[in-house]
Amino acid sequence: MTQAFILDCLRTPRGAGRPGGALSGVPAAGLLAGLLQELAGRASLDTGRVGEAIIGCVTQTGEQTDNVGKEAAPKAD
């Protein structure tokens, strides 16, 4: 059996996604990429050793209906 570790957890900021809202210009994958960078930095994590991550997204709309975790990973490097 492969071992799994819960390293840390963070939450993206909340704000109105509607036009003119606080986060309306920030794509979902961009928010997640920043979060992934922060997690890696907090733990001095060698991201090359990470084989898999489980990422959840609730109340998806618009661009969030894509695979946000897959899109964010390259942006976090």
Instruction: Choose among 60, 2, 1: nearest CA to 31.
Output: 60
Residue-wise pLDDT tens digits, 7-22: 677 887 777 667 888 8
Is the pTM above the cut of 0.75?
Answer: no
Q: Which helix (H) or strand (E) covers residue 31, if one does?
A: helix 28-42
Rounded Cα distance between 15 and 33, Å, is 17
Give the model confidence (pLDDT) of 56-75 as tens digits.
766 666 665 667 777 787 77
What residues does each domain of the chain span? Answer: 28-76
Question: Which residue, 29, 22, 16, is CA-closest to 55?
Answer: 29
CB atoms inside a 10 Å sphere around CB 36: 22
